[in-house]
Amino acid sequence: MSNVKLWQRVDPFAVLSVSVPLLIYLLTLAPSVTFFDSGEFITAIASLGTAHSPGYPLFVNYARPFIYLPFGSIAFRVNIATAVSASVACYGVYLITSHILATEVLTEDRRFSELYKRGIAFCAAITFAFSARLWLQSNHDKPYPLISFLSAMIVYLLLLWRDSYRKGEERPAYVYLGAFLAGLAFGAHQTIVLLLPSFAFLILSMNWRLVFRVKDLIIAVFFAVLGFSVHLHLPVRATQNPLLNWGDPKDLTQFLWNLLRKGYPVEKPARDLSLLWAQINAFNVPYEFTWCGFALVLIGIAAFLKKRRDEVLAYLIGILFFLLVIVGYFNTPGDMIFLTEEFFTPLYLLSAVFIGLGLFALLKNALAFLPLRTVSTLPVKVAAGFLLLALPTTVCALHYVENDQHENYIAYDYASNTLRSLPQGAVLFTWGDSGAFPLWYLQGVEKMRDDLDLLHTPHLVFKWYLDSFPELFRYSMLRSIPIDTISPENALQLAITEQYARRPVYIDFSTRYSVQFPNYSLRQRGICYQLVRGNEDTPQFPDISIWNSYILRGISGGMFFRDLDTGKAILIYANGHMEAGETLLQLKQLGEGIQELRTAAKISPELQMQISGILSGYGLR
């Protein structure tokens, strides 16, 4: 009997709001490391180290237990951690929506009304689940779903507090717990700060005199600091010299350097109207939820503006502060705007709540036109179900293909192919993060090619980075040069000079086209280049035999998923073949050169005109 009662207390729609997204996320989950920050995050998680500024200690510690799952690679297990956090973020939508609708009446049929209110909350949750942004973040390691879930829990706690305050049974514990979660969320991503004005408004709009409650304020700050103390992970783990120890934050100076993101460039572009619009458009509700979803957001705001004015204003305040800081203050360069798109995920969660409220208003008005006796009939129930499921089904269909990463081995293969290109004991200098981070994962976590040293050029100007390679840089001249007087390019040239006499020196494709090497000629070896003393213009025979050892899953177009750096990686393979082909034509190796150019055209047909130009320059077709 007790089991029956327990089952009756379980809300099946709440279970579905987590399980349905999780199922879809697992079906589309990336099987291994991906580009951007993936390899670096996984390396930090596997070693309980420190990721790039601001360190992400909560995300690192949250994902760490998942690496003990008994299946898949470490990268796959960490990706599961993100899928789980994204799924519970969807539950956050369900929780908030169903709470707001709890006092609403859909029809006079109480049972029908309760059932469909929960169904509406479920539809809002899975609409959020299938949004382009959350879905993309769910299928590989990202901290944004975790901060979205924590944001939802804070909003829900504040709604509970507001209910208790109205009843004269004020329960400040809700606020204290919310403050703790806000401090904790800072360890997932610092954008939680941009929601603090909304949280504060939800409290002070009940009674602005609450600001003078010094005791309650002190207690709330204490709990916020307690949550923020997750950042002690950074100095504590730094003393253990983990595999990834970004910034080496073992003392206060380096801790603040990491926390305050001082290692990033501060130059901002001159802004014109086109750049401003592109920055604003990073927050794009119609793209995430379709124009119908956007219309439902507006309907939900209009329908509940009078009854839930404070919640509506809190949502709009959140949008305002996100745009003021991310667009106004950050002034992100055009080629980096795609990175800021991820910051808006908590706002999309709240947008999904208003989609649910809009669905409720739409269904309520539709049912109002029907005779009372027909409202609870089967045809009406079926029609209502179709109405509610239309949007999430459409959003899922629109975004499925572009977010299906279950065959995405591009980054893994790109990194492993890079390692295959290098002889025993070589040193490789990398430039871009997407070219370096998967290498860190393969070597540091999967223990591939421990004989190599992988050096990231932009970090050569930092003492903490030189300290992580004591054997290489113990006596390096780089240690005697002040950080603000040397560029990464010059640091690279100096490091190459010091390493050249000891071992083979290689650079990756990004470094090849980012830095000039006037004292060296470049011998191509697949997608890497060996530096050889001599004139930069002296052609070296490319080693094209290395291509035969490469694994190229997904390059031929069998994988639908494409993000910016996945596309770049494919283009790098094509450019590598094209460059090898042109060099072979220079060296009178016409047959091999033509074959390399044909391979390049096969990988990237968009290079066909450029390849035709090369061939015509040598009198070939």
Label each residue of 553-609 as H, E or C. Answer: CCCCCCCCCCCHHHHHHHHHHHHHHHHHHHHHHHCCCHHHHHHHHHHHHHHCHHHHH
User: What are the start-end ranges of the H helices in 480-563?
Assistant: 488-500, 509-512
**606 found inside a domain:** no
Same domain? For 378 and 431 the reply is no
Domain final position from 403, 420, 452: 403
**Phi and psi for 332 in degrees, rounded to 5?**
-65, 135
Same domain? For 231 and 336 the reply is yes
Query: Which residue type is seen at 98?
Result: S
Q: How far is CA 488 from the centre of its chain?
A: 26
Same domain? For 41 and 157 the reply is yes
Residue 394 is given by DSSP the state H
Q: How far apart are CA 106 and CA 98, in angstroms?
A: 13
Give the pLDDT confidence of 130-186 residue by residue, as tens digits: 999 999 989 888 899 999 999 999 999 999 999 999 888 889 999 999 999 999 999
Q: How far apart are CA 235 and CA 229, in angstroms?
A: 11
Strands (E) in 489-551, as ranges, are 505-508, 520-525, 528-533
Give the pLDDT confidence of 183-198 residue by residue, as tens digits: 999 999 999 999 999 9
Q: How far apart are CA 308 and CA 375, in angstroms?
A: 27
Q: How far apart are CA 476 and CA 182, in angstroms?
A: 44
Same domain? For 424 and 495 the reply is yes
Judged by average pLDDT, the poorest of 121-130, 203-212, 293-302 is 203-212
Residue 368 or residue 566, greater confidence: 566
Residue 97 is given by DSSP the state H
**583 found inside a domain:** no
Please report the pLDDT score of residue 2 as a whole number: 47
Please report the pLDDT score of residue 272 as a whole number: 82
For tokens 């717990």, name the residue: 177
**143 found inside a domain:** yes
Question: Is the pLDDT score of 8 beyond 60?
Answer: no
- Give me the sign of the Cα torsion angle 538, 542, 543, 547: positive
Same domain? For 491 and 363 the reply is no
**345 found inside a domain:** yes
Mean pLDDT, to the nearest integer, of 235-264? 89
**572 found inside a domain:** no
Domain final position from 546, 561, 576: 561
**172 found inside a domain:** yes
Same domain? For 448 and 365 the reply is no
Mean pLDDT, to the nearest integer, of 341-349? 93
Same domain? For 422 and 397 the reply is no
Neighbours of 93 (CB within 10 A): 31
Question: Is the pLDDT score of 308 beyond 90?
Answer: yes
Judged by average pLDDT, the poorest of 77-91, 103-117, 226-240 is 103-117
Domain final position from 403, 418, 453: 403
Question: Is the pLDDT score of 536 beyond 50?
Answer: yes
Closest CA to 573 of 541, 547, 543, 549: 547
Label each residue of 326-340 as H, E or C. Answer: HHHHCCCCHHHHHHH
Q: Which domain holds residue 444?
A: 410-561
Query: Which residue type is seen at 615?
Result: L
Question: Is the pLDDT score of 554 beyond 80?
Answer: no
Question: Is the pLDDT score of 323 beyond 50?
Answer: yes
Same domain? For 228 and 86 the reply is yes
Residue 499 or residue 621, greater confidence: 499
Mean pLDDT, to the nearest integer, of 385-411? 88
Q: How confident is the model at residue 376 (pLDDT cuts 50, 70, 90)?
A: low
Please report the pLDDT score of residue 105 as a whole number: 82
Question: Is the pLDDT score of 309 beyond 90?
Answer: yes
**201 found inside a domain:** yes
Q: How far apart are CA 595 and CA 607, in angstroms?
A: 15
Q: Which pair of tokens denotes residue 567? A: 């596309």
Same domain? For 63 and 123 the reply is yes
**585 found inside a domain:** no
**Phi and psi for 455 in degrees, rounded to 5?**
-115, 130
Same domain? For 90 and 218 the reply is yes
- The burial of 267, by beta-carbon neighbours within 10 Å (0-12 exposed, 13-18 middle, 19 or more buried), is given as exposed
Mean pLDDT of the chain: 89
Q: How far apart are CA 445 and CA 533, in angstroms?
A: 34
Q: How confident is the model at residue 370 (pLDDT cuts 50, 70, 90)?
A: low
Same domain? For 374 and 438 the reply is no
Question: Is the pLDDT score of 509 beyond 80?
Answer: yes
For tokens 């509406």, name the residue: 120
Please report the pLDDT score of residue 208 as a whole number: 86
The total of structural domains in the chain comes to 2
Question: Is the pLDDT score of 335 beyond 80?
Answer: no
Same domain? For 316 and 445 the reply is no
Residues 6+ apart with CB under 8 A from 94: 13, 14, 17, 121, 122, 124, 125
pTM of the model: 0.91
Say whether the peptide bond before residue 54 is cis (omega within 30 degrees of 0): yes
Query: Which residue type is seen at 525?
Result: R
